[in-house]
Structure 1
């Protein structure tokens, strides 16, 4: 008797190739739409983050009141209020929020790139370590470029990331669906 892992078999997925292509076309269209107006795409990204922060704040607040007898309840409440404030800020001042998010993203890319470079240098004895180094350099350089352009680039950079991600996911799903159809 075969044990099912809950993951659909490839044969089950092949019959749904059209759904992958359709979703890919939709995501590609949204990516092109976002690329057509990077400012609006940035605002949409900020609102999305704001919604997530508000939901997170509400969950934290609910959690804080579930642990009433706990001596650290005040810290959960403060954390919830900070999340809620950040979420509200995204809606009341999306330009400022985009500046903060862009700065955070630039710093994260720079630090992440430097860590990747460090890991690559420690892996010089391994085959392919140069790919790690190249990836780290590109990531660190992206962080530096974003920092140099900040805060002006914060009006369009988040939108560009959204547009690029939507388009890439769209193309990936289109090609995946078409490959499933051929098999």
Structure 2
């Protein structure tokens, strides 16, 4: 399968056009993300609880919809797997909503596991690409992931109250800043 350079250029042009035409919406979204991210960084326990509850509702709603669609297509192959998946989503969603503090602890454990796996993968990738320029940045990124995992793990259970909210807040701030920068750049180009 080959990549059509003309298709990539058309897609890039379409993105640039959309950005120029809707720069104000991107600016508003960026500002909202900056505000929400700032609130999350200032009050990480509130953000952690909010993330836990939102995930609970997402799992619950997706599970109910999955259960309904699976039942409606019960003659289709994979019925039992779909049924189990939908039931599991409902169970997880219900548990997160019923016990959000315990859910936040579970999410923190998942976050620790993610940082460990991501850190090890980044370090392994970096060491296998030592002959490429700036491979050290990837190595440092992997080490930072492992340090974050260790710090969060060492602080359990108290880190469960703030770790998810703080990291979501930081992510929102960087995402918001990127959107604001793109929108202002597109405004100048318009």
TM-score (norm. length: structure 1): 0.86
Contact in 2 for aligned 1:21/1:177 (Cα 8 Å): yes
Aligned residue for 1:127, secondary structure, equals coil
2:106 is the counterpart of 1:100: yes
1:25 aligned residue = 31
1:79 aligned residue = 85
Contact in 1 for aligned 2:37/2:170 (Cα 8 Å): yes
Contact in 1 for aligned 2:47/2:165 (Cα 8 Å): yes
1:113 aligned residue = 119
Structure 1 unmatched runs, 5+: none
Q: 1:51 to 1:7 in 2, by over 3 A?
A: farther
Contact in 2 for aligned 1:30/1:163 (Cα 8 Å): yes
2:59 aligned residue = 53
Aligned residue for 2:14, secondary structure, equals coil
2:3 aligned residue = none
1:172 aligned residue = 178
User: Number of residues paired by the alignment?
Assistant: 182
Structure 2 unmatched runs, 5+: 1-5
Aligned-pair CA distance for 1:56 = 2.8
Aligned-pair CA distance for 1:135 = 1.3
Contact in 2 for aligned 1:103/1:150 (Cα 8 Å): no
Aligned residue for 1:150, secondary structure, equals coil
Please tell me the root mean square deviation across aligned C-alpha atoms, in Å: 2.5
